[in-house]
Amino acid sequence: MGKASRDSSKAIARLRGVGLRPTRQRVELASLLFKGPDRHVTAENLHEEVAGLGLKISLATVYNTLHQFTHAGLLRQVIVDAARGYFDTNTGDHQHFFLEAEGTLIDIPGEDIRVAGVPAPPAGMTVDRVDVVVRVKRA
Amino acid sequence: MGKASRDSSKAIARLRGVGLRPTRQRVELASLLFKGPDRHVTAENLHEEVAGLGLKISLATVYNTLHQFTHAGLLRQVIVDAARGYFDTNTGDHQHFFLEAEGTLIDIPGEDIRVAGVPAPPAGMTVDRVDVVVRVKRA
DNA sequence: ATAGCTGCAAATGCTTTGCAAGGCC
DNA sequence: GGCCTTGCAAAGCATTTGCAGCTAT
């Protein structure tokens, strides 16, 4: 069994697991996203990669699929840049370095970072999540 | 001397201080932004406020002016929402609570919060700023 | 006088949506 | 077959820009 078909099988299983029909487009995107180490992608960025591989998936479908994956808990959205939406295949507890200049994200393991001294949220509110973005520049 | 003209004088002085010509639009916006306690505004939001006061400033000029103020160090941009750009009159060291539901920002004093365990940035990079966003929801 | 600003409207860039055709179960 | 998906193109939003006319110094 080839690597590509093994990736597909895993992708199909993963999609079924979250109740999404394994359509060609979803399987191809899931294979790309989850076959290797964690990655950070933008819709545009992923669409180009897909096109470069000779696969045909419309940009609209890439957007829709990324959101479906996000709602299904397969991806997480990261807000670091007003202009672009980033999606992260690492859905666990962690934070990010962000290189504005090149639009690159780098994970910081959740165990490494500690945030202390967060005041009590306003009355009637609960903390949903604490996001830390370490913006870095070329020295 | 009335309150409005006192605000204007202060605004004019502040603009001159950062090398910006005190045009009518800049003076009016600076007066609104800096006459009271710290605030968080969006361009749209500020433009409506201005219109509500009977002042005439185009939305394009509000955008341009907010960016000029930001470059001059009078404002700071806060990135918490993919859909909107927020500007903060508090340019000092501090962080934010963010209520996604209503798009509201609340300051967290910089002395309160401590972030520890940030790994060394990638080679050739230096930390520019560490942003912490505490996302809260209605309990 | 003149360099700098403003306003409008058009352009941009990313993202979403409506709807007909196609694919999965 | 029936319902869910896709793809395209058009619409949507927030934001930016080009340029002619206006303004502060």
Mean pLDDT of A82-107: 92
SS3 B67: helix
Task: Say whether pLDDT at A41 is over 80.
Answer: yes
pLDDT at A59: 93
Residue position matching structure tokens 């950062």: B18
Percent of chain A with pLDDT over 70: 95
Could you report the per-residue pLDDT of B2-35, keeping only the tens digit for each? 666 666 788 999 999 999 999 999 999 999 999 9
Residue A5: the pLDDT is 63
Residue of chain B with shortest Cα separation from A118: B113
Mean of pLDDT values over A80-93: 93
- Predicted local confidence at residue A139, as pLDDT: 83
Task: State the nearest Cα–Cα gap between A10 and chain B, in angstroms.
Answer: 32
Burial (CB count <10 Å: 0-12, 13-18, 19+), residue A57: middle
What pLDDT does A44 receive?
A: 93
pTM of the model: 0.89
CB contacts under 8 A, B 20-59 vs A, are none
The answer to whether strand D lies under 7 Å from the CB of residue A82 is yes
pLDDT, mean of residues A80-106: 92
Amino acid B2: pLDDT: 60
What integer pLDDT is reported at residue B17 of this predicted model? 93
Say if the Cβ atoms of B130 and A135 lie within 8 Å. Answer: yes
* Interface check A3 vs B, CB under 8 A: no
Put simply, whether B127 touches A (Cβ < 8 Å) is yes
Cβ-nearest to A122 among B106, B112, B118? B106
Q: Where are the domains of chain A?
A: 3-74, 84-136
Q: Which of A82, A115, A139 sits opposite B126 (nearest CB)?
A: A139
Q: Is the CB of B23 under 7 A from strand C?
A: yes
pLDDT band at A33 (very low <50, low <70, confident <90, very high): very high
- Judged by CB atoms closer than 8 Å, whether chains meet at A131 and B127 is answered as no
Q: Closest nucleotide (CA of A83 to C1')?
A: C14
**B106 contact residues in A (CB cutoff 8 A):** 122
The Cα of B6 is separated from the nearest Cα of chain A by a number of Å equal to: 34
Predicted local confidence at residue B80, as pLDDT:
94
CA to C1' distance (Å), from A26 to C18: 21
Q: Is the pLDDT confidence value at A135 over 90?
A: yes
> Does the pLDDT of residue A69 top 60, yes or no?
yes
Q: Which has more confidence, A96 or B7?
A: A96
Chain C nucleotides with an atom closer than 7 Å to a protein C-beta? 4-10, 13-18, 23-25
Which pLDDT does position A61 carry in this prediction?
Answer: 94
- Residuewise pLDDT in 10s, chain B (139 residues): 566 666 678 899 999 999 999 999 999 999 999 999 999 999 999 999 999 999 999 999 999 999 999 999 999 999 999 888 999 999 999 999 999 888 899 999 999 999 999 999 999 999 999 999 999 998 8
Q: Is the pLDDT of residue A100 over 90?
A: no
Contact B108, A118 (CB under 8 A): yes
The CATH classification number of B3-74 equals 1.10.10.10
Residue A125: strand pairing partners: B138
Q: What is the C-alpha separation between B105 and B69, in angstroms, rounded?
A: 19
**8 Å CB contact between A118 and B135:** no
